[in-house]
Amino acid sequence: MRVLVTGASGMLGREVATALLARGDEVTVLQRRVSGIAGAREVRGSVTDAVAVAEAVSGQDGVVHLAAKVSFAGDLADFERTNVEGTRLLLEAAREAGAGRFVFVSSPSVAHTGDSIVGEGAGPAEPELARGSYARTKAAAELVALAADAPGFAVVAVRPHIVWGPGDTQLVQRVVDRAAAGRLPTLDRGAALIDTTYIDNAVSALVAALDRAESAHGQALVVTNGEPRPVAELVAGMCRAAGVAPPRWSVPGALARGAGAVIEKVWAIRPGTDEPPMTRFLAEQMSTAHWFDLRRTREALGWAPTVSLDEGFARLAEYYRQG
Nearest to 159 by CA among 114, 227, 226, 107: 107
Nearest to 223 by CA among 138, 287, 296, 165: 296
Is residue 134 flagged as an active site residue?
yes
List phi, psi (to 5°) of 198: -70, 145
Catalytic residue among 134, 198, 319, 320: 134
Residue 297, burial from CB neighbour count under 10 angstroms (0-12, 13-18, 19+): buried
Report how far residue 238's alpha carbon sits from residue 154's, in angstroms, rounded to the nearest whole number.
Answer: 37
For residue 44, the SS3 value is strand
| Cβ atoms of residues 108 and 122 within 8 Å | yes
Nearest to 117 by CA among 294, 297, 312, 290: 290
Query: Could you give the residue numbers annotated as active site?
Result: 134
